[in-house]
Structures are given as C-alpha cells and as structure tokens.
Chains A and B, each alone.
Chain A
Amino acid sequence: MTDDAPALLVANVGHRFGARAALDDVSMNVERGRFTALLGPNGAGKTTLFSVITRLYNNQSGRVAIFGHGLDREPSRALARLGVVFQARTLDTDLTVEQNLLYHASLHGIPRKAGKARIGELLDRVGLADRRGDKVRTLSGGQSRRIEIARSLVHRPDLLLLDEPTVGLDLESRADIVAIVRALVREEGLSVLWATHIFEEIRPEDDAVVLHLGRIVARGTAGTIAQGTESLEEAFRRLVAERGKRAA
C-alpha cells in the first residue's frame, strides 16, 4: 500500500455475463476525501461495477484497489476500509435498529462494547438516536436509509460506496441523506462514490464519471463535463445519445 494511492482505483475492469459485456475496459479513480458521482442511466453497469468493487463478483479482467490494497491479493484489508450502502434495502426488519447495527459491527470484528459506543455516535449523526430500540419495520423509507448509512460507517471505513441511495425517497429525506454524506466528506475526510441519476444531488466541483452501456463516456468535475451546455443533465443526455448512436 502506498500513502498516495487513491481511495479507489478501478483500472481496465471488464465484466461479462455470457456474451454480453456489462463492463468494458472501465477505468476510474475516487481520490481521497472527494465526493465522486457515478452517473449512468438504468442498465449502464453501475450496479455491476459496485458488485465488482465489493467483491460480490470477481473482477474478470483489470484491477480494483482500495487505498492501494488490491482486491485480488489483499481482499480483507481492502474490504475492511470499505463501507457500502446497497441499492436494495438490506436491513433485517424483524430486528431493532441497534441489533442490526451490532450485527454489522460483529461482521467487522468490533467488540460489543466498542460497537455500542460507536452506534450511539452514528445514530446521533443521522438524527435517529431516539429510534435505537425500535424494530426496523416501524421506520420510514428515509429513516431506514439513514440507518443503512449509519451501518455502513460502523467500522469507520475510509471509502463509502452508495448505490442510488435516494431512489424512491421524498424530497426532504433525499436532502437529509445528501447532507449527511456531504458532511462526512467535509468533516471526516471520507471518500465517497455516489451512484445516481438524480442531477440535483451533484455540485459543479464534485468529481463525476459518466457510465453508459458498460463504458466510461466522460470524466472530470461535474462543472467541466457540463461546460458548453446549460446543465449537467443536458450534457449527460447528449453524451448518452452520442454513445447510443455510435453503439447502433
């Protein structure tokens, strides 16, 4: 591991499902302490890329490294520094908030006492300290998401991956979640990869990567990608349309 290694390195990663390439020669970085947006329409390959980074799928070609720890050679060290919020809800609805979070703490080898203290801090941060003993089934969609973010932080990861975390939430819940994650980047220097297709969540100074049909079609800050167009959304639509034409 080198001290200047990026938080996440994805180099020439390809992934195939049978004959179809879900990812084709994908290379991108998440720099330390940066909020990086991964933009792409449905089916672009975002979830496949997340599955490769989280080692749910093997990277069939190319290299993935987290803070310099290659997933192929040092998976444990790499995964220990990674926190993930999956697109699908993954909390156990029959268990309480605390039981869910303690389970996650144990998955990372955190002793119960230290886990409980950390959970207290995190529930405070996501504004749900008073729901600690409640069953997850009693929470709203936005609250569950906030708990999932707290859960992903229990082991103090340095890189946080979020796969479309605000999908299906109302405006207020969406804003809460964006605010929590941005505060983590600002205050704790957390590196974040945020997959989304909601453009309002991205600021011009954020790093952004546009993925379409399994390939990277643009990268840079959101501001530079949007240059010459009215908005990032318009730039995105153009990129996707151009790539679609070329693919056809």
Chain B
Amino acid sequence: MQGNEACALGAVAAGCRFFAFYPITPAGEIAEKMSQLLPKARGVYIQMEDEIAAIGSVIGASWTGLKAMTATSGPGFSLMQENIGYAVMTETPCVIVDVQRAGPSTGIVSAPMQGDVVQARHGSHGEYEIIALAPSSAQEMFGMTIRAFNLSEQYRTPVIVLADETVAHMREEVIIPEEESLSIINRRIPSSQEEAARGFLSASVAPMPVLGKGFSAHVTGSSHDEYGKREASAPEAIDKIVRTISEKIKAHTAEISEIEKVLLDDAKVALVTYGSCARTAEYVVKQAREKGINVGLLRLKGLWPFPSEAVSKALASIHRVIVLENNLGQILPEIERATAAETKTIFLPPETLATLHRPDYVLQQVMEAVR
C-alpha cells in the first residue's frame, strides 16, 4: 500500500478519533483514507477552512480527551506554527504529519525535499523542544505514526511526523499487526480533584485535566504556573515553564529519538541520513560492501530531540562521515557537533535537489572518501 495510506491506518490503530485537514499536496491521500476510516470508528473527519483552523480544532479536540491528528506539507506547516507553539505551551498531545515537498514557498508540490527539518525544531516563536520522527518506508509510515501518538500521549507534547513526498507516495508491502499486539500509550488523566488541581508543569509529565469532567481546567498560552493560572508579570514563571517543559523532553532523548546502525562496527566510513535518502544509502552500503569497502550506515529515526549522545557513540570510530540530506544541510550541524574533531564530515546533497540521490553518485563519493 501507499505510505500515506499506511499512515492513516497507523493513526486509526493508535486510537486517533479526530482528524482535521486542509487540502494540500502531497498529504491528500492521508485525509482521503481518514475520511473513509473514521466514521466507522465513530471518529470525526473534518475539513477546516485553513491549516490554522485544522491544527486549532485538533488541539481543541485533544483537550476533550480524544487522540487527534492533522496532516499537511510545507506551506501548511508554516501556517500551523503559532498553534503548534500553543500546543507546546499548554502541553497538548497531538500529531502533525508534515509530508515535506520542494520549497520554499509553493515550490514543487510533488517532489521530495527535506527542507522543513529546522522548521520542525524551531518553526514556532519562543524557546521550546519538540519531537520529530523521520519515517523512511511505507511500513514506517504505519509504525511511526503509532509511535508518534504514543510519544505525544506519554510526554504531553505535539509530535511531528516528518515524512517526505517519496515516502508518502511509495507503494510497498506493509504488515499490519494484530490489534492486540500493538502497544498503545494513553495520557494520564487526574483521578481526583486534588490531583487535578496541579495539572501542568512537571518534568515527569503532569496528568492532563481534560474538559468536561468537572476539573475547571484553565488552559492558557500565557505564562502560567503549575495550576494553569496565568502568571504574566514574573519572569521567574516563564523561566520555570521553558525549563520544565524542555527538560520534559530533553531528559528522555535516548528513549524518544531512535537510531538504526547498519554495519558500523568495522566501518571507517559511514553514511548518516534519514527519511527517503536512507533508501539510497542502504543500497549504496550493500553495493560498497560487495566491492569490499567497509562502509556503514547510521539512520536517524528520530530527528528531534537530536540524539547527539547516541550518534556520537555510534560514530566514535568512524573517520569519514558522509551526510546525505535532500536540502543544503539542516541536520548536518547537529551531526558535525556530535562527531569527534578528528572525524571529517562531508555533506552530500543530491546532484539535483528535489530528487533522490543517484546511487552511483553516492558510491563514487564513498569510494573517494575511502581513499
């Protein structure tokens, strides 16, 4: 099945019962599938008037206790940033699928690019942390969407699934496991008024006082205390918020952002990549090994919070790191920072942006790096 379709199946399997959308290529198939699946599951599919309303209604729905998602691409992702910041500030679980396409601006609607990586991290104003996952297959479009929901519920945060047009539109075999075998995480809701009284701001993730249960929750994007009470005059309050909700995520980087190591143990050269570029990289590693070159692959499955420790360890004995990205270097600085001074980092975009790397081109670069 198609990556986008798999994403929709994953969302419903994770328990998503609210999906709001504004039409944009190349995310359309996610919406079409959700509009077919949700009514049978008594879930709401709604097409809102713009992306801002889509993410706004998702946050509103999440506050009633539902798992909620929206999907978009670059231009819509840009519009959603203010409300994503609101979701971060109010610790609202929700999932945003950004099927990246060639940008900036209208760009090319049906060509892949990885230009929203830094935007996923810092697209909204203010200081905050975010979780972003990078699927690289149709199977991962299914599995990572479920993971996105789990992470959003566990850490009470918006989670971005940073897909790209290639992964979204590719058709591959997807294995849908039995429902019982899926591991689903749900947010904690206060069990009593006393527990509900403190509904916000805990580095160990406060329970969420959802609406309509008599909690009289006060949810605000303004600086607030742990009771949700607005605290807009004391800088100490915003200091506490920014540090607490950032720590909430940063402290769990290892559990949140996974990496995949392929043949790194005896390698002196490694390809480091994510998303659709990883497919080319996998193939190149295979080809290079056949030629007797000891090259390995480090695939980033989670981009933010950036797993510097894990990356650092994985690349500890690598001499040459070749970073493959379909942009002009967005995750590159993080990799450069995480690798030892002696490790040389080479940045390798595709010969033509908005296309996949040609395997021979990459192989050629690998062979030169080995020399």
Q: Do A and B bind each other?
A: no
